[in-house]
Chain A
Amino acid sequence: MNIVICIKQVPGTTEIKIDPKTNTLVREGVKSIVNPFDAYALEEGVRLKERYGGKVTVITMGPPQAEEALRETISLGADDAILLSDRAFAGSDTWATSYVLSKAAAKIANYDIIICGRQTLDGDTGQVGPELSEMLKIPFISYVSKVEEIKDKHIRVQRMIEEGHEEIETTLPAVITVAKEINVPRLPSLRGSMKAKTAKIAVWTAADIGVETDKAGISGSPTRVVKIFFPKREHKSEMLEGTLEEQVEKLAERLEKIV
């Protein structure tokens, strides 16, 4: 089994601080981490390899320092990691990101399954997985919470929807996105950490994977962030007073009016 995992490096927190004077984001001291939802994707890939044999290749599109994130995935069981980095990729929206990833997948070739996280901490769209599947013209299943079986180039999974679970089967190769319910990611092993230190991380540029630069980066992205602002939270709350009994009494009165 040839398993490809897509990961993204993201700022390590959503508790973004805002400078009250300038009303801008404060980035200082925020460490970059592997997108938490991608840890489940990686773990599932490694588990599938343990079950069915094969190889786990991790790819990420990002700036040169995303190499750190890739090394971390090697300590967690990935065999190989590839960094897709080129100034032509900067400013990519989900369409352009998926396009670049699809070109990398095409170069890797012979993949059986591509696993993405359900969404990222920063962009937070959850669109890259499904868009990627169409660019590769292969089937797609979202929110997978369990891989039941892979057999004869078919995969059977459980996926989560609002109303419950669906059991779905499709052919391989396919793209799946995983929910956090799917597994509990392991911690880095000592051997893995050693391997991560010395592992060679390949860097592929636009030219290496045949990306048409007018379809990548800011030039190739249909969407543009045109404004960023901070939500105003204006609010009047009433803290109820008195003894606990009195407070509950007051609350019950107010409740009766609403319902």
Chain B
Amino acid sequence: MVKDSSLPWRERNFEGIDLVEADMGIEIDIEKCTGCGSCVSVCPFGVMELINDKVRIKEGCNLCGACVDECTFEAIKIEKAEQKVSEGYKGVWVFAEQRDGKMKSVAYELVSEGRKLADKLGTELSAICLGHNVEDVEQLICYGADKVYLADDAALSDHQEDLYTELLLDLIKKHRPEILIAGATAMGRSFIPRVAALLYTGLTADCTGLDIDPETKLLLQTRPTFGGNVMATIMCQAKRPQMSTVRPHVFKRGTASKERKGQIIKVDFKKEAVTSRTKLLRFIEDLTEKVKLDEADIIVSGGRGLGKPDNFQIIKALAEVLGAAVGSSRPPVDEGWISYSHQVGQTGKTVCPKLYIACGISGSVQHIAGMGTSECIIAINEDPNAPIFQVATYGIVGDLFKVVPMLTEKLKRSRGTA
């Protein structure tokens, strides 16, 4: 037996290639396998290898089936029961999130994207809005919704996830949409999975691409995984609705048209029927943000290269002349130089400003996952090999403590504020 903890268990326990794969739900028929190797190169997870001219599968198989289709000798088998397709579901739904009666930008982005999906399917687009005295509900129609289901009640004004879960569940059961998309905001990520769990349907997280498969008419949901290194396309073949969450700013808002016609349908909210088990005692607003990151047209961000908390001053000074919001990579947040609400990246905010200025940020995949789609990216870094330059529109190799203040001064002068 080989004793090496970096090796998968089966290699530690079994020398042979017989039968072990069956434990994972995938089986190789050793008799049929010719050792041609074509499956090995299609496995997206890199878990297949040829040993003594036979294929074997290491730990980490995702049962994606790519190898099964590739093998012309029918040597690979994946066992799974066929699921019964749910029928009678029609229409595309968008969950239109609001806060304090104001529609969130992501609601319009998703309605714009949902419109395209509905058109491809030749079906209706509905937006679901839960809240109290919500402004601009008609705007959802201007951006593309045919119908808006609106539940208006004082009890819905705070983020009452229990109530939202019950209400949305009821509406889905009654109207049976085939697709539902929602924003991957703190609230969306918290209560949409609960709705999916109760419906026994699939939910794909953080999609960056949605499309309709021309053949099956099913929703193709593409999302980054492994910190943005790999893209996966996911389908929900049998269960309905097909549900996805999408991060804010991933899709662009379309153009609103006052000409568009649509219907606002009031939803009866029976307060007595549902109770919230969680109670919001107080809300402590983060006031350190002058300009909200998610809404900013320009963001100036600082990274570990700043060296110490006080140095954020030079980032703030540049942000001020530009009327920009201040962002950060993760290390300054971890070090406590700046609060979490400023963090951009995989575990922070996703932003898509017109201009993103990265100062002393190396450009890890996790950081780029949060800002890579910005229209123009400027990188200031003393290391010419920093990966941030690969995504930058303009790059300056140099000491940020010289470059940034110089730039601030120049801009001040040209704007006549100095």
For the complex, is B89 an interface residue (Cβ under 8 Å from A)? no
Counting contact residues on chain A (CB < 8 A from B), the size range is: 35 or more
A residues near B45, Cβ cutoff 8 Å: 24-25, 27, 228
Name B24's closest neighbour in chain A (CB-CB). Answer: A90
Q: Kindly state whether residue A29 has any CB partner on chain B within 8 Å.
A: yes
Closest-CB distance, A221 to chain B (whole angstroms): 7
Q: Are A170 and B277 in contact, with the CB atoms below 8 A? A: yes
Task: Note all chain B residues with C-beta closer than 8 A to A222.
Answer: 83, 200-202, 236-239
Whether B411 sits at the interface, judged by CB under 8 Å, is yes
A221 and B202 form a contact (CB under 8 A): yes
Contact A230/B395 with A167-B281, A168-B278, A252-B411 known, Cβ cut-off 8 Å: no
How far is B407's CA from A14's CA once the two chains are assembled, in angstroms?
35
Task: Judge if A54 is at the interface, Cβ distance under 8 Å.
Answer: no
Q: How far is the CA of A195 from the CA of B406 in the complex (A)?
A: 59
Contact of B46 with A126 in the complex, beta carbons under 8 Å:
no
CB contact between B411 and one of A16, A24, A94, A255 (< 8 Å): that residue: A255
Tell me which of A29, A121, A259 has the highest count of chain B C-beta atoms within 10 A of its own C-beta: A259
- Determine if A131 is an interface residue (Cβ-Cβ < 8 Å): yes
**A225-248 with Cβ < 8 A to chain B:** 225-231, 233, 235, 237-240, 244-245, 247-248
Number of B residues near A (Cβ < 8 Å) is: 112
Complex Cα gap A93–B78 (Å): 16
Binds A, one of B110-118, B126-134, B181-189: B181-189
Q: Does B228 contact A (CB under 8 A)?
A: yes
Q: Which residue of B lies closest to A89 (CB)?
A: B25
Complexed CA–CA distance, A193 and B235 (Å): 43
In the docked arrangement, what's the CA distance between A94 and B64, Å? Answer: 15
Of B146-154, B219-227, B308-316, the one contacting chain A is: B219-227
Q: What separation, in Å, do the CA atoms of A121 and B365 have in the docked complex?
A: 13
| Chain A contacts for B185, CB-based, 8 A | 162
Judge if A208 is at the interface, Cβ distance under 8 Å: no
**Known A222-B202, A231-B228: A252·B407 in contact at CB below 8 Å:** yes
- Contact check, B9 vs A91: say whether CB atoms are below 8 A apart: no
A218 in contact (CB, < 8 A): yes
Contact residues, B391-418 vs A (CB, 8 A): 391-398, 402-403, 406-407, 410-411, 414
A125 to B9, CA, bound (A): 26
Which residues of A have CB within 8 Å of B403?
244, 247-248
**Residue pair A95, B6 in contact (C-beta under 8 Å):** no
Query: Distance in Å from the Cβ of B92 to the closest Cβ of chain A?
Result: 18
| Nearest B residue to A125, CB-CB | B205
**Chain A binder among B54-62, B136-144, B171-179, B253-261:** B54-62
B197 to chain A, nearest CB (A): 4
Whether, in the assembled complex, A20 has its beta carbon less than 8 Å from a beta carbon of chain B, the answer is: no
Q: Please name the residue on chain B nearest to A31 by beta carbon.
A: B6
Whether A14 contacts B282 by the Cβ 8 Å rule is: no
Question: In the bound complex, do residue A161 and residue B159 qualify as a contact, i.e. CB atoms below 8 Å apart?
Answer: yes
Would B187 and A161 count as touching, CB distance under 8 A? yes
Cα-based distance from A244 to B239 in the complex (angstroms) = 59
Q: In the complex, are the beta carbons of A240 and B395 less than 8 A apart? A: yes
A163 and B227 contacting across the interface, CB-CB below 8 Å: no
Contact B410 A249 (CB under 8 A): yes
A53 at the interface (CB under 8 A from B): no
**Contacting pair A95 B59 (CB below 8 A):** no
B212 on the interface (CB 8 Å rule)? no
Q: Tell yes or no: A112 within 8 A of B by CB.
A: no
Smallest distance from the beta carbon of A205 to chain B beta carbons, Å? 12
- A127 and B205 contact, Cβ closer than 8 Å, known pairs A27-B47, A162-B341, A219-B81: yes
Which residues on the B side are within 8 Å of A126 (C-beta)?
189, 193, 205
Q: Does B35 contact A (CB under 8 A)?
A: no
Contact between B226 and A131, CB atoms less than 8 A apart: no
| Contact (Cβ within 8 A) B284 A167 | yes
- CB within 8 Å for A239 and B278 given contacts A164-B284, A227-B233: no
Within the assembled complex, what's the spacing in Å between the Cα atoms of A42 and B203? 26
Question: Is A19 located at the chain interface by the 8 A CB criterion?
Answer: yes
Contact in complex: A255, B355 (CB < 8 Å): yes
Interface window among A44-52, A103-111, A136-144: A136-144
Complex: A81 Cα to B79 Cα, angstroms: 30
Q: Give CA–CA (A242, B47) in the complex, Å.
A: 49
Given contacts A63-B9, A244-B403, contact A224 B237 (CB under 8 A): yes
* B residues less than 8 Å from A229 (CB atoms): 44, 230-231, 233
Residues of B within 8 A of A (CB): 5-6, 8-9, 22-25, 40-47, 58-66, 78-81, 83, 99, 159, 161-162, 165, 185-187, 189-191, 193-194, 196-198, 200-206, 220, 224-239, 277-286, 294, 297-298, 322, 340-341, 346-347, 349, 354-355, 365-366, 376, 378, 389-398, 402-403, 406-407, 410-411, 414
> Known pairs A15-B227, A166-B283, A224-B65. 15 more at Cβ < 8 A?
A121-B226, A124-B206, A124-B226, A125-B203, A130-B193, A142-B189, A143-B190, A164-B284, A171-B277, A223-B234, A225-B62, A231-B230, A233-B390, A237-B395, A249-B410
